[in-house]
Amino acid sequence: MSITETMVQQLGINRLKKSQYDSAPSSEINPNELYLEDPEFNGNKLLMTDVNGEIVETDLSVSDIPPLGPTVITLSNDNTITLADNTCFRGASVTAFTITPPSTSIYPFCSEIDFTSGSTATTITYTGSTILWDANSDDLVNDVFVPVANKKYTLMFWYNGTDYCGTAVGL
């Protein structure tokens, strides 16, 4: 049986060989977590629950489980960003970048861009399908987001089943 992220969640129990527990630096042992000494544990199993709440052992390692949080990508100047689901693009002071929605429809979809527009306003080029901007977004010009100088922005994007949409908040 193949266990997927949607079928199981990792429990707050860490199974260790006695030698692993005994030799672990105290800084790596969290007093708020439960540790079980298991003489049969080979060091590669994760203890998880299945869809029925039953505890199961797997031969998965931590690296086999997809991350639960977003993928974070660091922006640099002149980046071309193809928006991706569950992805956050972050940059400090960015002078220019291009935003392209995905070429295929993804529902549900959520993506984020965080950046700072410096003393010269950041230039954004839009390619691909049109992004429909929320009318309550900051700094819209003719229904399109255009950053101004000296402002930090968070841009959120989603797919509503028909169009890619965005909202901009500037601080």
Looking at per-residue pLDDT, the higher value among 8 and 39 belongs to 39
Which residues partner with 16 through β-bridges?
37
- The pLDDT score that the predictor gives to residue 53 is 66
Q: For 18-76, write each residue's pLDDT tens digit.
A: 555 556 666 555 555 544 444 455 555 566 666 676 666 666 665 565 566 788 888 87
First to last CA, the chain: 49
Q: Which two tokens stand for residue 76?
A: 């640099």
Enter the pTM of the model. 0.61
Rounded average pLDDT over 2-26: 47
Looking at per-residue pLDDT, the higher value among 127 and 44 belongs to 127
Which residue in 46, 43, 37 sits closest to 11, CA to CA? 46
Contact 101, 128 (CB under 8 A): yes
Q: For 102-116, write each residue's pLDDT tens digit.
A: 988 888 899 999 999
